[in-house]
Structure formats: structure tokens, C-alpha cells
């Protein structure tokens, strides 16, 4: 416990520590390249009290590390727009890539504690977000991240004295803000909140409490902890977590082979309903905007199932200023070198806006699984990781809609041939499409498993019968209309 934590004397003089630090620095700077070869991403989270010396510590830590290998994230400098995103968003977007070290000057602990104490989060939201933080750390660990969590502690009197000293000099007065002063006044309450958070998040990576009143000791310990952690990881190899089971409320889904693909609409029904639904959705968007509800719409489906045309009909009535369509292809290098959800976190809609994903994070359990782009552990774990992600979105207030655009193998063949034989459509068909088609049966197994394991009550899958594309489009629009209406009436 922070409250009555006792810092043991290490029996070292300042000079002795300096020497030891210098050795550790040599080890660290000599092993930066190995981080790259081992593809190890390192995140050093530095939390702690105001004026406890976090900035100075970070400066010391990175002073001997080649600056091309490390970056610093500064919680205090986050733009105000960050409030339009979910809790973990800034931290997810600041994840280091493989081979790099990211230092965080305050992070997901401080954010949770501040929002709790200010009352911006009620008790329920706080509990949800602490769970998110725990899952976040577990996901980082399982996905091979090394996270080192340091906490700089000082007592109330030391803090008061330091804040007073800073305020005395004109050159440093600007570094003290209202938040810092408030923290000193409410020191016990803050301490309890830090303690709570630490106790709730010690599972995947331990917290290390450093003595902020003795900067030489704190630096030496920080260097030791970081170096040990990196050395241990080199020795044991990058971690790749096994799948785990977490309970999510699931909706039972049919197998693809049992889906009735004969459903259809006449041209007349289609035209009438299309107009009505698009008008309705156009109106609903303004209300969604005013109620600040973020909307995430995920499209998956067979090649040539009609995703493009379906998305077009949905996007048509939406004001483009509040809507973005994200075509998802192979990840770019900087995305591949990070957590697989990184490229979706960076594409989340702001509150009040729509993000439509043409292919999604489910690539992990389909193409990445079948093509061997990730390990078996990775894709098996991903069902849970995805459910966790989507639950975070829903807890944030988002509406999450997921569509599987379905056709049968014969229909696909017919459409492929049609594309092949129509000059204007030939670009739509590639060798890869044919190769994927050869794996139809394997994909069907993967899709069935995906639908079974990730159709949660809070973010269920909708199977969209799309042999008749008109039917498919109207079905999607109806689901969207109904879901938006429901979200507005909540």
C-alpha cells in the first residue's frame, strides 16, 4: 500500500549509485538494436504524485538512450479533442512499435484517478474502465509488449514544499497548476485512489513504487527495474500469450449452411423502402450528432457478396462531415509493428460521428488465421480480445453494428465470371480472389467460429442474405434505422 509504504535503505552512497547507473546505461544503450531484432516493443509508464520528480526521472532515463529509439508521451499535453474518444484511446494510439521504447509521463492510471475524483466518471463507469485497463494490460502482455510500470511517491509535506519552491521563482512558477495544488490539499483522498487503482491492476505487470524524495535512489531503482525487465525478456523470449476464456453474454447464431439465401425483394418494394429508409436515416443522423453517440459499423463478407454497393446505400444519406468509410486492406508497416487493434483505435469515430469499416478487426480470425499471418495463440486469443474491445466501445456509449454479407459459393462463382467477362468490372477481380475462393471451406469454418464466439448481446452479428443484393441493402438499412432509434431512446 502506498499509504504506509516503507522505502528500504539500499546502503549505497550517491557516488556508488552513479557508478551502477552508468553500467546499466551501458547495457541499455548497447542493447537497443537487440530490441529491433527481437521485435520487442517496450512501454515505460511513469505515474506518480505531482512534483514527485517524474519529468526529471524520464529525462535521466532517456538521456543515454539513442533518441531515435524512444519517444515520450505527455498526458498533460493531450488535446481537448481527446475527450471525444474512449478512455484507452490516447494510450492505444501511443503504443510503441516493435523495437522502440515509449515513455509515458502519466497515463491510464492518472486518467482514471482524475476522472474518478472529479466525479466526471460515476462509480459504474470507473469500475468499467478499471476493467478495461486490466484487460488492456493483459492484451499488451499477451501480444508481446513489455510494460514497465513505475510510480513516483512522495509524502504530503515534501510535495507542499516542492510546489511552494516552484511557485516562488518566476522561471518555474508556470509549472504548478491548479490540479497540483488541489492534489496537495486532497492528498489522502488521492493516495487512496492511487492505491485502489494499483491494487486493481497488478495482474499482468507489477507496479514499482519509487522513492521520489530521493532522486538518486529513484533513478537507480528505475534503471535497475527497466534493465532487469529487458534482460529477462531477452532471456525468456518475446511472450505470446495462450488463449483464455472470459465469459461474455452470447447470442446464438445459425451456421452459415443453414442461412436461407433465397430471400428477395421486388424492384418496386426495394425502391420504396430504400427511399423511406434513407430519408429516415438522414434525419436520425442529426439526432445522433446532437446526442453525441458514436456509431461503429463493421462490414465483413465473402468476396463479391456486395459489400461495396451495400455500404454505398448506407453512406448515401449520411452527411459526410460526420461519417467516414474506412477501407481496410493489409496493414502498413507501422501498423503491423503494433497491437492488431491499433489501426482500428486510430480510426475510431469521434462522439456523434459514424465510422463504417469495409473489412475490420475480424481479419485476425479470418485471413490472418488462414494465411498464417499470426500465431495460433494470437487468433485463438483474438475472440476474447475483440469482445473486450467491442465491450469497451459499447461502455463508452458507442453503437456497434456488425454485418456478415452472405452468399453461397455458386453465386460467388457466377459473379466472379461475370466480372471477368465485363471489361469495366475486370479490375474488381484478382488472382487473390480466386485463391481465396479455393479456401472457401476453410473460411466457412473460420466464419462459423467467429460468429459463434463474437456475437455478444452488446454487439451481435447480423447475417445479411445477399444473393439478392436489394434484399441485403434493405435489411442493413432497417437494422441501422432500428438501432439508431433505439440508441436515441435509451
Q: Give 322 or 460: the residue with its C-beta nearer to a copy of itself.
A: 322
Element (H, E) at 89: helix 89-93
* Three-state secondary-structure class, residue 347: coil
Q: Give 34 or 255: the residue with its C-beta nearer to a copy of itself.
A: 34
The cell for 303 is: 468476396
Q: Does 438 bind a copy of itself (CB under 8 A)?
A: no
Stretch that binds a copy of itself, among 53-61, 218-226, 448-456, 477-485 (CB under 8 A): 53-61
Q: Among 319, 325, 317, 310, which Cα is nearest to 352's?
A: 319
- Residues 202 and 200: their CA atoms lie apart, in Å, by 6
Query: Following CA atoms 475, 477, 478, 482 in sequence, which dihedral angle do they give, to the nearest 10 degrees?
Result: 140
Q: Give 138 or 473: the residue with its C-beta nearer to a copy of itself.
A: 473
Q: How many CB atoms lie within 10 A of CB 170?
A: 7
How many binding residues for a copy of itself (CB under 8 A)? 43
Query: Pick from 23, 177, 319, 376: which binds a copy of itself (CB under 8 A)?
Result: 319
Query: Pick from 10, 20, 55, 444: which binds a copy of itself (CB under 8 A)?
Result: 55
The cell for 311 is: 455500404
Q: Does 11 bind a copy of itself (CB under 8 A)?
A: no
Q: Give 432 or 438: the residue with its C-beta nearer to a copy of itself.
A: 432
Asked if residue 105 lies in contact with residue 58, where contact means CB atoms within 8 angstroms, the answer is yes
Looking only at residues 341 through 380 of this chain, which bind a copy of itself when binding is defined by CB under 8 A? 356, 358
- Residues 407 and 167: their CA atoms lie apart, in Å, by 69
Q: Among 285, 349, 275, 261, which Cα is nearest to 313's?
A: 275
Q: Give 37 or 236: the residue with its C-beta nearer to a copy of itself.
A: 37
Q: Among all chains, which residue has been given the C-alpha cell 439508431?
A: 484
Looking only at residues 100 through 129 of this chain, which bind a copy of itself when binding is defined by CB under 8 A? 103, 105
Helix and strand element counts for the chain (H, E): 21, 10
Q: Among 486, 464, 489, which Cα is nearest to 476's?
A: 464
The cell for 330 is: 493489409
Site string for a copy of itself, 156-195 (x = CB under 8 A): ---------------x--x---------------------
Stretch that binds a copy of itself, among 149-157, 218-226, 320-328, 364-372 (CB under 8 A): 320-328
Beta-strand pair 207-211/295-301:
unpaired
Q: Does 424 bind a copy of itself (CB under 8 A)?
A: yes
Query: Pick from 3, 427, 431, 490: which binds a copy of itself (CB under 8 A)?
Result: 427
Looking only at residues 281 through 300 of this chain, which bind a copy of itself when binding is defined by CB under 8 A? 286, 290
Query: Pick from 18, 334, 347, 457: which binds a copy of itself (CB under 8 A)?
Result: 334
Asked if residue 15 lies in contact with residue 214, where contact means CB atoms within 8 angstroms, the answer is no
How big is the CA angle at 366 (ends 359 and 327), to the nearest 5 degrees?
A: 15
Q: Give 85 or 379: the residue with its C-beta nearer to a copy of itself.
A: 85
- Tell me which residues touch a copy of itself (CB under 8 A): 30, 33, 37, 55, 58-59, 62-63, 66-68, 71-72, 74, 77, 79-81, 103, 105, 171, 174, 286, 290, 308, 311-312, 315-316, 319-321, 324-325, 327, 332-334, 356, 358, 424, 427-428
Amino acid at each position: 500500500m502506498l499509504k504506509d509504504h516503507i522505502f528500504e535503505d539500499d546502503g549505497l552512497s550517491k557516488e556508488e549509485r552513479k557508478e551502477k547507473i552508468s553500467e546499466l546505461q551501458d547495457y541499455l544503450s548497447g542493447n537497443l538494436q537487440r530490441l529491433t531484432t527481437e521485435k520487442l516493443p517496450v512501454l515505460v509508464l511513469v505515474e506518480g504524485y505531482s512534483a514527485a520528480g517524474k519529468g526529471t526521472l524520464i529525462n535521466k532515463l532517456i538521456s543515454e538512450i539513442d533518441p531515435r529509439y524512444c519517444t515520450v508521451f505527455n498526458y498533460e499535453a493531450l488535446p481537448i479533442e481527446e475527450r471525444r474518444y474512449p478512455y484507452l484511446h490516447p494510450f492505444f494510439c501511443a503504443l510503441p512499435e516493435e523495437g522502440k521504447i515509449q515513455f509515458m509521463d502519466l497515463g491510464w492510471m492518472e486518467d482514471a484517478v482524475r476522472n474518478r475524483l472529479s466525479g466526471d466518471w460515476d462509480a459504474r463507469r470507473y469500475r468499467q474502465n478499471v476493467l478495461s485497463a486490466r484487460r488492456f494490460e493483459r492484451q499488451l502482455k499477451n501480444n508481446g509488449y513489455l510494460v514497465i510500470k513505475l510510480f513516483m511517491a512522495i509524502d504530503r509535506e515534501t510535495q507542499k514544499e516542492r510546489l511552494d519552491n516552484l511557485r516562488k521563482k518566476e522561471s518555474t512558477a508556470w509549472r504548478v497548476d491548479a490540479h497540483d495544488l488541489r492534489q496537495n490539499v486532497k492528498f489522502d483522498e488521492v493516495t487512496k485512489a492511487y492505491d485502489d487503482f494499483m491494487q486493481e491492476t497488478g495482474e499482468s505487470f507489477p507496479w514499482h513504487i519509487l522513492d521520489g524524495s530521493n532522486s538518486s535512489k529513484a533513478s537507480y531503482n528505475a534503471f535497475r527495474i527497466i534493465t532487469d525487465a529487458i534482460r529477462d525478456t531477452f532471456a525468456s523470449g518475446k511472450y505470446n500469450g495462450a488463449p483464455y476464456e472470459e465469459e461474455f453474454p452470447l447470442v446464438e447464431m445459425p451456421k452459415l449452411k443453414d442461412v436461407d439465401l433465397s430471400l428477395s425483394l421486388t424492384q418496386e418494394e426495394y425502391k420504396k423502402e430504400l427511399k423511406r429508409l434513407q430519408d429516415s436515416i438522414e434525419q436520425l443522423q442529426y439526432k445522433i450528432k446532437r446526442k453525441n453517440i458514436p456509431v461503429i459499423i463493421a462490414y465483413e463478407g465473402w468476396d463479391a457478396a456486395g459489400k461495396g454497393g451495400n455500404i454505398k446505400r448506407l453512406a448515401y444519406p449520411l452527411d459526410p462531415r460526420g461519417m467516414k468509410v474506412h477501407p481496410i486492406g493489409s496493414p502498413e508497416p507501422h501498423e503491423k509493428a503494433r497491437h492488431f487493434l491499433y489501426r482500428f483505435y486510430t480510426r475510431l469515430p469521434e462522439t456523434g460521428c459514424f465510422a463504417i469499416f469495409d473489412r475490420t478487426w475480424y481479419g485476425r480470425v479470418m485471413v490472418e488465421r488462414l494465411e498464417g499471418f499470426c500465431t495460433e495463440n494470437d487468433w485463438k486469443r483474438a475472440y476474447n480480445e475483440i469482445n473486450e474491445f467491442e465491450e469497451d466501445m459499447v461502455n463508452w456509449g458507442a453503437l456497434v453494428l456488425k454485418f456478415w454479407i452472405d452468399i453461397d459459393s455458386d453465386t460467388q462463382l457466377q459473379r466472379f465470371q461475370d466480372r471477368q467477362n465485363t471489361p469495366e468490372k475486370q479490375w474488381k477481380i484478382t488472382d487473390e480472389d480466386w485463391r481465396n475462393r479455393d479456401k472457401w471451406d476453410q473460411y466457412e469454418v473460420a466464419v462459423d467460429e467467429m460468429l459463434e464466439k463474437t456475437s455478444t448481446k452488446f454487439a451481435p452479428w447480423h447475417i445479411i442474405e445477399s444473393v439478392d443484393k436489394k434484399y441485403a441493402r434493405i435489411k442493413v438499412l432497417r437494422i441501422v434505422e432500428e438501432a439508431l432509434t433505439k440508441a436515441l431512446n435509451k
